[in-house]
Structure 1
Amino acid sequence: MPQPTVPRRRVLRGALGAGAVALAGPLAACAPGSSASEPRKLTGTPSASAKGEITIWNRSGDLFKVFDKAIGAFRKAYPNVKVNHQAVDIDAKLANTLITGSDLPDGSFWDDAKIGSQAEHLYDLTDLIAPYRDRTSAYKLSVNTVDGRIYGVPWDLDPGLLWYREDLLEDAGVDPAGLKTYDDLLAAARALKEKNSSARPIHMEKDPFLGQLWLEMLANQQGTSLADAGGKVRLDSKAYRDILTWIKDAVDDGLVTHAEYLKQADVAALENGQQALVPWAVWWSFAPQQLLKKTKGRWRAAPLPAWTPGGARSGAMGGSSFIIPAKAKNPELAWLLYEFLCFKQPGYTAVYGPSSVYPGGLDTSVPSYTPARRADKPLFQPVEALGGQDLWKVAVDAAATIPAAAPIPAWWTKSVDYLGNNLQRLMEGKMRPDDVIDDSTRKIQRNLVDRA
């Protein structure tokens, strides 16, 4: 079986940023919580009769086509604004153009992971976002904020969900509604294994980058992250210790399938019933729709379990926003476009609604803007591959519980060499939770934080 292609999250080095370029040269010196120069502010919105021309960058692939359609709706609303919409390798090109200030777009799609470390090169959008702030996800605002100022226009929200095989849980006498805590999830996995001795019900990620991204989703549920707003490492905490201990317990009890996301071994384990419980982001919906032929229609989504009774039932796993370079030629018109796409009903409906690319609507994320996430007005349709489940309601309910976070530090991707790899050793039974915390903290501090 060939390695699957996942266009929405390519997998996924883009979900939190592939770019080691964000750690090189001048960029490394601008960590969250610092500012090399006074930020440039945008404070006014052009009128409906605005005229001009803008260049907008997006990644190639399915999302480019989705946004191209939505930009068509913008052109109808603002016929005097010409939009040059370009497909660009953003990870390879954007950071360098921000530094040099030449050949810049007026606006660009970008990973949340990159924005906190690039504030000196971006427009301060705080005043423009102010009217929408109270109705925007606290998480998305927090990862776009540096020194109290907002530098990215929040777009998608990627809530974590619990994906499960409905038929296997029913066979084992497990009620999905009863999976309220992570202890409940372990109990369900044990019941599935009693029913089928070859089952290893819980997916745990074998790719170090995705494994660390997954770990951060579980930490975000508890209101924490690898670094605080000032870039200080805070891995040594009860929240992380609880997660790592839970992982060790699952591994020790033989409840884990340790496989790379949607690679051949992972897909096979999902299809043959070995895996039945996948705590993952909403964009896992791609799997039953495109890859899982044998078990299509048997998978369902539910909120993540909570770490404590009554705790948050979701955390964010990845995400992207829009930025306006500080040296853009027509920044006001770029804001007009992003305001339309993110905060205006015709815009976000055009993005998330049915299209030739996603006939049922874009169902791999939800908007960060609360009025766009109305349960009674879904932007995408029930998913046939999930047995007709209303994924919209599950995802928007989960999104509403996601706690705020901190800007993602410039060194996050490089920290995978330490935390991501040590997490793999824990899943392989080669390290203990305290060893993961101590070794990772020491190496991240010495090799990344101190050097930055």
Structure 2
Amino acid sequence: MRRTELACATLAFALISGSAFAQSGEITAWSWNIAASSLKATVPGFNKQFPDVKVTVEDLGNQQTFDKMLAGCAAGGVGLPDIISVENHESEIFWSQFPDCFVDLKTLGYTDEIAAKFPDFKRTELEVEGKAYAMPWDSGPVTMFYRRDFYEKAGVDPASLKTWDDFIAAGKKIQEANPGVSMTQADINGDSEFFRMIANEQGCGYFSGDGQSITANQPACVTALETVKKLKDNGLLIAGTWDEKIQANKAGTVATQMYGGWYEGTIRSTAPDLSGKWGVYQMPSASADGPRAANLGGSALAISASSKNKEAAWAYINYTLGTNEGQVTMLKEFGLVPSLPSALDEPYVKEDQPYWGGQKVWVDILSTLPKVKPSRGTPFFQDADKILVAAQLKYLNGQYADAKAALDDVANQIAGATGLPVAE
């Protein structure tokens, strides 16, 4: 392609993205860990469209990104980069406290047509009162990652595990057939991960869809907490932190890990010698015909109002997040799960994955995205989550009469901390 043709193509892309003046300049993005690495991986593709935009990605770590973002917004935007990574469930903390700290992406070209490409559950916390504060990035469709050899030794077909009762019965067989192996792990001492995944599957969360009331003690949430206890009481769920789970994976002492789909990259990169021994299947449900889709984790990208090059920043995030090419680059390199269901149409997604025993794992993982129910984080997510984690531990240790009593206490504590009413 001649230089004049390249210039025309670049301008055309800029006009489509709403960024007619984005062909040059420098932009900086803050992120963490493999998310930061994934952003770096998309830069070469972006630079084919915008060769004169220099993109710098800084890996600050998750907590430091959050803290520096909070401090920067409190200081009126001083010291913030052009682009900032924010986790969905924590995002409303920023929009509610510092609505002027971020650009409404609709002013840069984030049209209703572009937004409609993404599932509702990814947009719920990012679009508030008519403004779009961030663009959906990765998602975490919940997936059961399992050791094929452990299941086979016990004669368990993962396709037959449709309910949590099925999972419990299978877990007993697997642990008996594989001495020293636990069926699964969760950080039940310091995290709400299992509760939130199962609750989301059943359509329940800490708050109502409009964020105006507390729903943590609704029947579906009660079912979720009862399930966690049932798994633990049957000796199938043992406590494990993030690092302890990775060690168990590598040591071959766990049969199943339930996590967001992004955990694929963690298993593959930390236990490369176990290639062919892992597979995936859908999470079980409360009943045989119940829902089997949920989400855990996932982030978005926002543009700071103090950015000196907003058009270039928008062009970059629109390429990285709004195109199959950008999303699949991150999936292929680092296992970051796209929020774009259209990515299912990409050849790589449909390929057999050697590490996973030749299974088309991305077809299986991404196919659940359209079925995930939205779950509102609200500005009070961290308060609610801390309350739940503490009550969950007490409940698992027998300090509440039942799950309903535990979650009634949780709901009342959240009401006291937030001023929101408990839903009837």
Name the TM-score class by shorter chain: 0.7 to 0.9
CA contact (8 A) 1:227 1:235 kept: yes
CA distance in 1, matches of 2:133, 2:21: 26
Could you say if the C-alpha distance between residues 413 and 256 of structure 1 is closer, same or farther in structure 2, counting changes exceeding 3 Å?
same
One-letter amino acid of the structure 2 residue matched with residue 253 of structure 1: N
- Are residues 1:94 and 2:77 paired? no
Which runs of structure 2 are paired with 1:394-433 in the superposition (5 Å)?
394-406=364-376, 408-431=377-400, 432-433=402-403
CA contact (8 A) 1:315 1:402 kept: yes
Deviates more, 1:68-77 or 1:235-244: 68-77
How large is the RMSD of aligned CA atoms in angstroms?
3.0
Question: What CA deviation, in whole Å up to 9, does each residue of 1:263-304 have, x standing for no partner?
Answer: 17x73487454x323222223324542444785532211111
CA distance in 2, matches of 1:213, 1:148: 31
One-letter amino acid of the structure 2 residue matched with residue 235 of structure 1: A
CA distance in 1, matches of 2:118, 2:145: 26
Partner residue in 1 for 2:118 = 136
CA distance in 1, matches of 2:54, 2:175: 59
- Are residues 1:219 and 2:195 paired? no
Deviating 4+ runs (over 6 angstroms)? none
Partner residue in 1 for 2:170 = 188
CA distance in 1, matches of 2:327, 2:273: 34
Partner residue in 1 for 2:140 = 158
- Are residues 1:371 and 2:342 paired? yes
CA contact (8 A) 2:383 2:417 kept: no
Pairwise CA distance, 1:113: 2.4
CA distance in 2, matches of 1:371, 1:116: 27
- Are residues 1:284 and 2:260 paired? no
Structure (1/2) with the larger helix percentage: 2
CA contact (8 A) 1:54 1:106 kept: no
Which runs of structure 2 are paired with 1:312-327 in the superposition (5 Å)?
312-327=291-306
One-letter amino acid of the structure 1 residue matched with residue 170 of structure 2: A
Pairwise CA distance, 1:226: 1.0
One-letter amino acid of the structure 1 residue matched with residue 161 of structure 2: L
One-letter amino acid of the structure 2 residue matched with residue 320 of structure 1: S
Partner residue in 1 for 2:28 = 56
**Gaps spanning 5+ residues in structure 1: where?**
1-42, 354-360
Partner residue in 2 for 1:13 = none
CA contact (8 A) 1:55 1:86 kept: no
Q: TM-score, normalised by structure 2?
A: 0.83
Partner residue in 1 for 2:409 = 439
One-letter amino acid of the structure 2 residue matched with residue 370 of structure 1: P
Deviates more, 1:288-297 or 1:434-443: 288-297
Partner residue in 2 for 1:71 = 43
Which runs of structure 2 are paired with 1:384-395 in the superposition (5 Å)?
384-395=354-365
SS at match of 2:72: helix
Partner residue in 2 for 1:244 = 225
Could you say if the C-alpha distance between residues 178 and 64 of structure 1 is closer, same or farther in structure 2, counting changes exceeding 3 Å?
same
Question: What CA deviation, in whole Å up to 9, does each residue of 1:12-52 have, x standing for no partner?
Answer: xxxxxxxxxxxxxxxxxxxxxxxxxxxxxxx9944566444
**Gaps spanning 5+ residues in structure 2: where?**
1-14
Question: What CA deviation, in whole Å up to 9, does each residue of 1:411-445 have, x standing for no partner?
Answer: 32233332112222333444431232022122222
SS at match of 2:239: strand
Partner residue in 2 for 1:123 = 103
The share of aligned pairs that are identical, in percent, is 22
CA distance in 1, matches of 2:73, 2:181: 50
